[in-house]
Amino acid sequence: MMMSTCVKKKMKHCFIYVILLLLPLLALRAQVKVSLVLSDNYTKAGHEAVQRLYASAPGLRGKCEIKVYAHTDFYSNDIAFLEASDLVFAYVHVTPVFEQAKPHLLKAISRGASVYALGATPAEEAYREAGVIFNAGVLQYFDQASIENFKNMILFRLDVDKGLKFPYGDVIRYPEAGIYSLNGDTVYTDLQAFRASYANYRPGKPWIGIYTFRYEILTGQHDYLDAHIQALERAGFNVMPFFGIPMQVSLKRYCLDSLGRATVSFLVTTSSLPGASPETLRGMFARIGVPVINAISLDQSAQEWEQSLTGLSVFSRTLHLGRPELTGQVQPMVTSSQETTVLPGSVRITEKRAIPGRVQRLVDRVLAWHRLQQEANREKHIALIYYVNPPGKENIGASYLNVLPATMYNILARMEQEGYDLGSIAPDSNRIFDDIMNRGRNIGHWAPAEISRLAENGLPVLVPVSEYKTWFATLSPRFQQQVLDKWGPPDSSRIMTWHDHNGNGYFVLPAVRYGKILLTPQPPRGWDADAEKMYHDVTLPPHHQYIAFYLYLRRRFRADAVIHVGTHGTHEWLNGKETGLNDDDAPEALIADLVNIYPYIVDDVGEGLQAKRRGMAVVVDHLTPPFDKAGLNPELKELAGLVNDYMAAADKSEMLASAKLKGISRLANRLGLLKDLGIKDSLAAEHIQRLEHYVQEIGERQTPFGLHTFGASPSPERVASTAAAIADRQGKLAPAARDSLLRDITEKIAASGRSELDALIAVLNGRYVPAAQGNDPLRNPASLPTGKNFYAFDPSKIPSEAVFAAGSQLAEEMIRQHRDRHKGQFPDKITFNLWSVETIRHEGVMEAQILQLMGVKPVYDGYGRVSGVALIPRDSLQRPRVDVVMIPSGLYRDMFPNLMELLDQAVSLVKQQEEPDNYLRQHALSMQQQLMQQGVQQDVAARLAGVRMFSVPSGAYGAGLENVVQASGTWDKEAQVADVYFNRMSHLYGQGFWGDKAETKNKTLPAGFSTQLLKGALSGTRAVVHSRSSNLYGALDNDDFFQYLGGTAMAVRAVDGSTPDVVVTNLSGAGAGEQESLDKYMGREMKTRYLNPAWINEMLDEGYAGARMINNVVSNLWGWQVTVPGAVEENKWQQLFDTYVNDQFQLDIKEKFRKSGNMHAYQVALSRMLEVVRKDYWHPVAATRNKLVKEYLQTVQETGLSCNENVCDNPALRGFIEDNTKDDPQLLESYKQQLADIKSTDNNGQQKTPGRNKDLKDKNVPDATLTPYEEGRKKNR
């Protein structure tokens, strides 16, 4: 068809017109789109580089559009622009930065974009396969990441890739290491040149080295650093900020002179990425020999951090806490934050800013270290803080440490050698013991007359309440309000308070002074002072006397350092953020700038890390007690002989063998061995071999003997036995190799005592303490010698592939054992306890078990770090998936939040799998249906039903049962104790929760909802499981184990009406571990230790501390009695009675207690046995009951009341004793009179006791408040 000429001309004109209209759009479309995907640290530099680029190349703006994407605000940017980009520069060094952008980068690549990597990554091969380009030129620009190099990097690729010809320069090279000068914003590579140009030099003042990031100097992002420098300079220091990777090169260049002497007095690190191995840095720090303070920069704003309950983010804890600890850095403290600024064009950048108050705290801590370095020892004021918590005359001490008097004497004797002022005559051990017992004890509020006697006659520190109020008013307002809300005003305090006859109120701080050295007990925590708080509060700030104690040490005593003696106190467990504390948090508010030295048992790294991270402690680890084979007590020897007789008789006469078997059965039953082995009826012939092996195992068991004394190595015999115990675990060695190993271990153990005291003195001199591994020495000989600042490991690698394999085997063993015990029943739900101290020992075996039970395995990255989880297919698993509920401790939450997130990922993954026998999914769907029937919305119900982790909230620690269980006069039914567990542990973790109560997050849910959710999750539990990986700690030498494992079993019993299987994953041996019943685990411990004459003799030879330990065993057996009654048959109490009261092994037990100076421990143990009888758990014959009562009353008459809570604040026990005392009215009357005397008051409500200070009028009388040296110190400082 032909068109007319006119029509053709019109169409041509139209086409030209359309083209003209589209030209601007086509030009815009032709613009090159460039995106920079950066970590927050580089966002500002990237933005400034873009601005400089546009300024230097004016014609570029019309041809190229560039956007910068920060990690934090990634999705607030134009994601479509990124996906449509032609050229992308993506930061790959920090995995989350790249992974967040990865889906969008892949879209850009699919559209033809060139995506260049910035930085190095172990995932390089995988990223290359995805299309990411690792270009040498780009990487060189980025390695020298100044703003100018950033600019030229972009121009370089625009030229090569897109043909945009604009001038650009070659890579500008900067020194790899240098010293930053605030004067002129310049960099020096020579130390002497820097010092010569240093504008603020103060002759004779110490130099402080601050190690920082190179990129911050190159990119000009050092305003926060400038603030640190200026604050330290204002305090009188010379400051040398330096950088360089690897760090050891710059340390050697700038912190050591040509003779190997330190050029700095302190080091502060603001860089968490030193680019050097921990081993190398430990060696270099040791050569320099000065404290290294860890100054932390947040990955959040200061406001977010201040309002946070968690403190440091989960991601940053390994970076800012775990890794610095590997090198011996101390006092991890937040000093700067990441703040967001919105620039023109709505560009959001983040940059570091100093937090003024926290920088000042850093300065104050450096000043405190400086005083230790400069002040003469004779002028230093040091406080030795020990523990009497809860109060009682029997309870001064620490875990497996002979504190009173042995450790105290060793420390003081060494301090005397070092020139410290201990008064005119240094005290011997007897004087130390007498002084502390007479006037250095905490006293319960139930004994006001005892407090009055101490105040008037005991020379305590008396802090006037009026003076305390002025101190208290200087603390953080938020912290003050927390205290006032819980404890009321200071005038209303009841804990360790006293009023003189003029009505003036004082806080009483027990104290013993030797010259300028103060021995004083840490105040009691306060739970036992108020039953309402004990039963219903989950977090509890310190009470006023506790606060007065630490404020006194700082403000009036003016301590140069404090020493918390042994494992462990309560300061680091006070309420506040999990990590990264500020002055709103109790531990930080109280310790402030005090140098806190903490002798800590080497086998408790997890709790020691808490002291370092929340208590700002410098740990000096100490030995465990020595080890040796337990041997058999006389009854077990008799049983072993009977078994041998039976074996011989079996070959001769069936009748004779049968008779001997009955005798074996009777004795084995009486000794509890049948219960240990799970033999329910009488012993049969097929059980003999098991029994024989068990008795042999008991005799061969490596057992701790006695206690450790800080600064003293064991006797040569015990050194040898411990070394042999360690060598035996190394498998079969050639004789020469074994001999070499024994020599090495022997030397290290023998050197430990001296090393411990040397390290303590090093800290007191303001020196670096070398860092090294901790852990049970039998499991990890590398923890020897002691006297180190111990560390753990990188938690991102837990569990390793080898550990996962071992844990998987144990998980399958658990299933098999359960089916064997329960006629083939599959354990569809198992509840695990998780502890950080255990995970640090076994390195993830429990976590591996949990994953395997659910049918999930870890996924690892190129560095061997766990990066996620993957499903094990059902046909590979070959069994149903188990529903696992987890009860992590508060410390586990703080130390291993990454593992909690990993386990929660596993829960979410398994919950999605539609398999007919997926029990986790079945139970979650059932719970979801129940919640929906209660009116909960479907999406909320689905989320809540999937929660499988429950614990205490952020800033809280412990199940809280130890206080309630021991306060047995305050409850009648176990359900009351279980309610405490439910109240404390019903905080949700996982599925988007972190320590929350569901009803707090969602106001539509009723009060108590989370408690019911926890009960629902626990219901149906077939077994509760905990681990034990230590050769030292068992079930009865501490109260934590029954609180968690026992408490969880009790909680299940409260819900379902029966106790589930209680299982201990025993990892203490040399092999892969085994699953044991609590019956066997506890029974073996009793037979190797507490019913073993060899163990008893060595423990009582420790004196006061050994007697205290035996009383603790009785107390903890009571904890198991309440929480898992089925594990503590009455025979266990009878055996303790026969051993310690009837003295069946003729050890002269009572006389040993008497000679120990701690008959009060014997008295308290008797009172607990009587309480077990009173509460109907033990039904001894009348003669046993009567002897218990008489022995108890005789100790009261002989030595007075111990005045722990059970002895002096349990009216029901008092009534029981009165009802069961018929034949000795004199003893009974003495008992009643003493109870009356401790509570007596005069008619005016004052404590009624005579004393030389009863007419005290002046609150500043020296012997009551200020000693002469305190007066002088107050004036001089």
pLDDT of residue 12: 46
Give the pLDDT confidence of 87-104 residue by residue, as tens digits: 999 999 988 899 999 999
Q: Is the pLDDT of residue 235 over 90?
A: yes
In this prediction, residue 1241 has a pLDDT band, given cuts at 50, 70 and 90, of low
Same domain, 387 and 480: yes
Spatial separation of the C-alpha atoms in residues 241 and 207, rounded to whole Å: 10
> At which of 678, 700, 722 does a domain end?
700
pLDDT of residue 555: 97
Spatial separation of the C-alpha atoms in residues 82 and 256, rounded to whole Å: 48
Give the pLDDT confidence of 137-189 residue by residue, as tens digits: 999 999 998 999 999 999 999 999 999 999 999 999 999 999 999 887 789 99
Give the pLDDT confidence of 1069-1112 residue by residue, as tens digits: 888 899 999 999 999 999 999 999 999 999 999 999 999 999 99
Give the pLDDT confidence of 243-253 residue by residue, as tens digits: 999 999 999 99
Return the structure tokens found at 902: 């990993």
pLDDT of residue 901: 97
Tell me how many domains the chain contains.
7
DSSP state of 349: E
In this prediction, residue 30 has a pLDDT band, given cuts at 50, 70 and 90, of low
pLDDT of residue 456: 94
Return the structure tokens found at 1038: 């501490």
Q: Which residue has the higher pLDDT, 558 or 1266?
A: 558
In this prediction, residue 276 has a pLDDT band, given cuts at 50, 70 and 90, of confident
Is residue 719 one of the residues assigned to a domain? no
Is residue 490 one of the residues assigned to a domain? yes
Spatial separation of the C-alpha atoms in residues 774 and 320, rounded to whole Å: 20
- CA 759, 764, 768, 774 dihedral sign is positive
DSSP letter for each residue of 1233-1264: HHHHHTT-B-TTSSB----TTTT---TT-TTT
Same domain, 6 and 36: no
Same domain, 462 and 485: yes
* Residue in 119, 43, 35 with CA at minimum distance from that of residue 79: 35
Same domain, 422 and 364: no
Same domain, 49 and 121: yes
Is residue 1269 one of the residues assigned to a domain? no
* Residue in 791, 784, 809, 789 with CA at minimum distance from that of residue 799: 809
Peptide bond into 477 cis (omega under 30): no
Return the structure tokens found at 92: 């790959």
Give me the mean pLDDT over the 1172-1177 stretch: 98
Q: pTM value?
A: 0.92
Same domain, 25 and 90: no
Spatial separation of the C-alpha atoms in residues 993 and 889, rounded to whole Å: 16
Return the structure tokens found at 255: 């912190």
Structural contact between residues 326 and 253, judged by C-beta atoms closer than 8 angstroms:
no
Give me the mean pLDDT over the 472-501 stretch: 97
Spatial separation of the C-alpha atoms in residues 117 and 784, rounded to whole Å: 45
pLDDT of residue 345: 65
What is the domain-level CATH number for residue 98?
3.40.50
pLDDT of residue 94: 87
Give the pLDDT confidence of 890-912 residue by residue, as tens digits: 999 999 999 999 999 999 999 99
Q: How far is CA 1165 from CA 320, 606, 1171, 1181, 1207, in A?
A: 45, 30, 10, 19, 10
pLDDT of residue 72: 82
pLDDT of residue 184: 74
Is residue 153 one of the residues assigned to a domain? yes
Identity of residue 1122 = V
pLDDT of residue 19: 40
Give the pLDDT confidence of 1117-1170 residue by residue, as tens digits: 999 999 999 999 999 999 999 999 999 999 999 999 999 999 999 999 999 999
Give the pLDDT confidence of 836-883 residue by residue, as tens digits: 999 999 999 999 999 999 999 999 988 888 999 999 999 999 999 999
* Residue in 193, 188, 310 with CA at minimum distance from that of residue 242: 188
Give me the mean pLDDT over the 237-248 stretch: 96
Same domain, 1027 and 916: yes
In this prediction, residue 1222 has a pLDDT band, given cuts at 50, 70 and 90, of confident
Is residue 741 one of the residues assigned to a domain? no
Give the pLDDT confidence of 71-85 residue by residue, as tens digits: 888 888 899 999 999
> At which of 1078, 1113, 1143 does a domain end?
1078
Q: What distance lies between CA 895 and its chain's CA centroid?
A: 6
In this prediction, residue 1268 has a pLDDT band, given cuts at 50, 70 and 90, of very low
* Residue in 1096, 1028, 1103, 1040 with CA at minimum distance from that of residue 1067: 1028
Task: Output the average pLDDT for the chain.
Answer: 92
Q: How far is CA 554 from CA 420, 562, 1099, 1270, in A?
A: 19, 10, 37, 12
Same domain, 404 and 498: yes
pLDDT of residue 1147: 98
Is residue 1027 one of the residues assigned to a domain? yes
In this prediction, residue 5 has a pLDDT band, given cuts at 50, 70 and 90, of very low
Give me the mean pLDDT over the 360-365 stretch: 98
In this prediction, residue 2 has a pLDDT band, given cuts at 50, 70 and 90, of very low
Spatial separation of the C-alpha atoms in residues 968 and 637, rounded to whole Å: 37
> At which of 162, 194, 214 does a domain end?
162
pLDDT of residue 1239: 87
Spatial separation of the C-alpha atoms in residues 357 and 703, rounded to whole Å: 50
pLDDT of residue 1264: 33
Spatial separation of the C-alpha atoms in residues 408 and 521, rounded to whole Å: 12
Same domain, 16 and 55: no
Q: Is the pLDDT of residue 534 over 80?
A: yes
Same domain, 914 and 1010: yes
Identity of residue 298 = L
Phi-psi region of 332 (alpha: psi -120 to 50; beta: other; left: phi over 0): beta
Is residue 646 one of the residues assigned to a domain? yes
Burial of 680 (0-12, 13-18, 19+ CB in 10 A): exposed
The range of the structural domain enclosing residue 1166 comes to 1104-1240
* Residue in 333, 324, 188 with CA at minimum distance from that of residue 250: 188
Give the pLDDT confidence of 598-610 residue by residue, as tens digits: 999 999 999 999 9
Q: What distance lies between CA 143 and its chain's CA centroid?
A: 38
Structural contact between residues 1240 and 1206, judged by C-beta atoms closer than 8 angstroms:
no
Same domain, 870 and 902: yes
Same domain, 937 and 1017: yes
Is residue 769 one of the residues assigned to a domain? no
Give me the mean pLDDT over the 4-12 stretch: 43
In this prediction, residue 1275 has a pLDDT band, given cuts at 50, 70 and 90, of very low
Q: Is the pLDDT of residue 1253 over 90?
A: no
Q: Is the pLDDT of residue 1272 over 80?
A: no
Burial of 1268 (0-12, 13-18, 19+ CB in 10 A): exposed
Structural contact between residues 803 and 1065, judged by C-beta atoms closer than 8 angstroms:
no
DSSP state of 1025: E
Give the pLDDT confidence of 559-568 residue by residue, as tens digits: 999 999 999 9
